[in-house]
Chain A
Amino acid sequence: MIQKKYENTAKAIADIHDGATLLVGGFGGSGLPSHLIAALVEQGAKNLTVVSNNIGAVSDGVAALISNNQVKKIICSFPVGPHADDLIARLQNGTIELEIAPQGTLAERIRAGGAGVPAFYTPTAAHTELGEGKETRMFNGRLHVLEHAIIGDFAFIKGHKADRWGNLVYNKTQRNFNPVMATAAKITIAEVDEIVEVGELDPENIATPSVYVHRLIKLEPQREGRVLVNE
């Protein structure tokens, strides 16, 4: 019988190794797999390459891994926010590398990684600093830059409900980067509010099919009666 549920976050992330590439879903605090991140801070794997849209928007996001000196390289679109000070300090002393990618290019590089496409051309960032040094080609009279796929060793994603097989549904804009990142890692680990039996999720609503999800962690509900606002 398929069983992807792990009894705790520590076991679900225990094999993340030094030097791993990690995709982290979320947009600011929404859809952020913050419990998996907290477990990885405890676990301590180092020299990670972390791919995530926002760095520094919230304290329990990728900023926590940076502050704990676990990150070698960041690939993101928006490295600015109230919790970006440690990133700035490490950039200034040369202990971390930052690659800024336009948000749509970042999403498409991840999509390509999950879809078996090694690279693609896009008009985004042509004639700009972020397109410098990249291969270019004209299509229909317009300059395009070549962008390469991103594949993670692991992905941390956040869903609302999973079934035992790992099919996922999301809650509102919590979806954001989670479905695409789920496709692009060798091991995708999802933290969800609830795990239900196979057949209970409406097949029309499943946004991430089970083929992409390898491990599940169920969180204790904690948001009842509490309004969570981004920091």
Chain B
Amino acid sequence: MSKDEQKVGWSKIELASRVAQDLEDGWFVNLGIGIPTLVADVIPEGREIILHSENGLLGLGPKPEPGEEDMDLVNAGKEPITLKPGGCFFSQSDSFAMIRGGHLDAAILGAFQVSMYGDLASWKLPNKPLGRVGGAMDLTVGAKRVFLCMQHSSKGVPKIVEECTYPLTAPRCVDRIYTDLAVIDVTDDGLVVQELAPGVTFEYLQANTAAPLKILETRLSKGDSAVI
């Protein structure tokens, strides 16, 4: 990608904010490692969303002020966080009973690849000696909704594909994909673009996606000639 192209779309924090917009009052939501952890810092004012951290916490708050970090108060990425009033701690087995038992309204996860059918690959790269699964496989089978929050491409290679070529985390599990370029739903009718990031045309998005996309005519950006 050229420098000009990198400026298109949402920044990481804008992407996290876009995801946070769709979280409903009263939801219990797990945040995965990476960009998803930024969601904790941008929860809309006035909305009570209770964030779950797989290491055994409900009520995760924003990052602490410098100097206030506590090594015994960390998120799934082992970064210091804060606890909101009403928050609580529990063991790892309780944490995953919560996850696997279907008690969380949404899990927001990263991805290496996602297929047009909602298959997710997020734990092992073919060129790396080790995979690292963490809680991803439990979250994908257990959460009521699985949202991905990720860069649209990795080093110019599209992450949204027809079929995953990397080892799967779980098949047919992803409901919605948020990237720096767009918001895309995984439906029985294929991948449907719900929103384009600022400056992104549908043609540009399709050119950077290795699976067919659909979009309602009313959602097209200025400059798009394609009508789907």
Contacts and interface: CB of A to CB of B under 8 A. Distances in A.
| B contact residues, range | 35 or more
A175 interface: yes
Given A176-B92, A230-B74, A103 B134 contact: yes
Given A27-B74, A77-B135, A80-B132, A108 B96 contact: yes
Interface string B62-96: 00000101111110001110010000011111011
A124 B138 contact: yes
| A contact residues, range | 35 or more
B55 interface: yes
Contacts, number: 148
B141 A124 contact: yes
Contacts of B56: 27, 173, 175-176
A69 B55 CA distance: 29
Interface stretch (A12-20, A125-133, A213-221): A125-133
Interface of B: 53-57, 67, 69-74, 78-80, 83, 89-93, 95-97, 99-100, 124, 129-138, 141-142, 167-171
21 contacts: A30-B74, A77-B134, A78-B133, A80-B132, A87-B130, A92-B129, A100-B132, A102-B136, A103-B133, A107-B91, A108-B100, A124-B141, A127-B171, A170-B89, A172-B70, A172-B72, A173-B57, A227-B69, A229-B80, A230-B71, A230-B79
6 A-B pairs closest in CB distance: A104-B96, A104-B138, A28-B78, A228-B71, A102-B137, A179-B91
